[in-house]
Amino acid sequence: MHELSLTQSIVDICLQHGEGKRVTVVVLEIGDLSGVVPDAVEFCFDACSRGTLLEGARLVIERIPARGVCHDCRAEFSLGTYFDPCPSCGGFSHAVISGEELRVKELEVE
Partner 1 sequence: MCTTCGCGPDEHHDHDHGEGHHHHHHEGESRPEAGTRIAVETDLLAKNRHFAEGNRQLFAARELFVLNLVSSPGSGKTTILERTLRDLAGEIRSAVIEGDQQTDNDARRIAAAGVPVQQINTGAGCHLDAHMVGHAVDHFDLTNLDLLFIENVGNLVCPASFDLGEHHKVVVLSVTEGEDKPLKYPQMFHAADVMLLNKVDLLPHVDFDVAKCREMARRVNPAITIFEVSSRSGEGMAAWYGWLRKNVKGEK
Binding site for partner 1 (CB under 8 A): 1-2, 5-6, 9-10, 12-14, 16-19, 21, 24, 33-35, 81-83, 85, 91-93, 101-110
SS3 content of the chain, % helix, strand, coil (to 5): 25, 35, 40
DSSP secondary-structure letter at 87? T
| CA 34 from centroid of its chain's CA atoms | 7
Question: CB–CB of 79/66 below 8 Å?
Answer: yes
Q: Which of 6, 48, 86, 107 binds Zn ion (CB under 5 A)?
A: 86
Stretch that binds Zn ion, among 2-10, 19-27, 29-37, 43-51 (CB under 5 A): 2-10
Beta-carbon count within 10 A of 70 CB: 20
Q: Tell me the residue type at 68.
A: G
In the complex, what is the shortest distance from the CB of residue 33 to partner 1, in angstroms, rounded to a whole number? Answer: 7
Looking at the Cβ atoms of 19 and 55, the one nearer to partner 1 is 19
Residues forming the site for Zn ion (CB under 5 A):
1-2, 70, 72-73, 75, 86, 88-89, 91
